[in-house]
Structure 1
């Protein structure tokens, strides 16, 4: 019998669909992630009535999702370019309409069944800092539509 161990936060992998059609044909990894905070909150409304014998009733009427992450900016110091997924997130954060949305998926990099996919609007906020600080960015991906349960691509 094996003893269960605690899963680590660094088990998550995040990928962006870099294809022009956003059809999932070009998944590329977002590297340099130092914090990863997924949330999928339900909207619950009070549905209590006189027929419940005094017990509260609740009904789930909707759901939203968000993914907060911190990344260490990665650059190619020879060609003077940022990592392509980092640049795609930054550019989307300044766009409007469909150009402000990114197609993402995140999953357990160890092959466990947890895996999700959806479209999100990007917020990009550089952290700044002292002269010794790393160039870090706080990224928020706010879901636009459903967060789908998918088969883990590395399972």
Structure 2
């Protein structure tokens, strides 16, 4: 008889965020390093659809959905070249742009290869945290979805690419 393996609790740090630094036709997925906090949300819009046939029971209908991802990142810099991490820069520059340049194509997934993974297009809000002299240079990044957040096959899953 084999010994049962107990379930373990997943950790919040399981998420990996990537930004497409290529094109839609030829994506180049690059890691967003330095993530210290990660909060995805995909909230449905639910409207009351109650009617007399419900005999007093409420009816509800999902009429839409939105998504947002909030992350805190430690700003990474290449000290000798005097440049910031290119993914951080892509996010920062998109936050100041208009039109198509204001969107980023992102995906995030469970870094251990579990099945949870998503992809979508988003607008960027970039808000430096500031702080005292001993604080790290951190930025609050909010990705506000434009269109669907699609479940995808986790590229880090066994047999997947990445």
TM-score, normalisation: structure 2: 0.94
Judge conservation of contact 1:17–1:24 (CA < 8 Å) in 2.
no
Runs of 4+ in structure 1 off by over 4 angstroms are none
How many residues align? The count is 154
Residues 1:35 and 2:63 are matched in the alignment: no
Separation (CA, whole Å) in 2 of partners of 1:57 and 1:89: 41
Do the aligned partners of residues 34 and 12 (structure 1) sit closer, same or farther apart at CA in structure 2, a change above 3 Å counting? Answer: same
Q: Secondary structure at the match of 1:51?
A: helix
Separation (CA, whole Å) in 2 of partners of 1:68 and 1:124: 10
Counterpart in 1 of 2:160? Answer: none
Counterpart in 2 of 1:14? Answer: 17
Separation (CA, whole Å) in 1 of partners of 2:10 and 2:26: 28
Instruction: Quote the offset at 1:22 in angstroms.
Output: 2.9
Instruction: Quote the offset at 1:25 in angstroms.
Output: 2.2
Separation (CA, whole Å) in 2 of partners of 1:78 and 1:49: 67
| 1:41-93 Cα deviation digits (max 9, x unpaired) | 00000000111100000000000000000000000010100000000000000
CA RMSD in angstroms comes to 0.7
Q: Secondary structure at the match of 2:89?
A: helix
Unaligned 5+ runs, structure 1: none
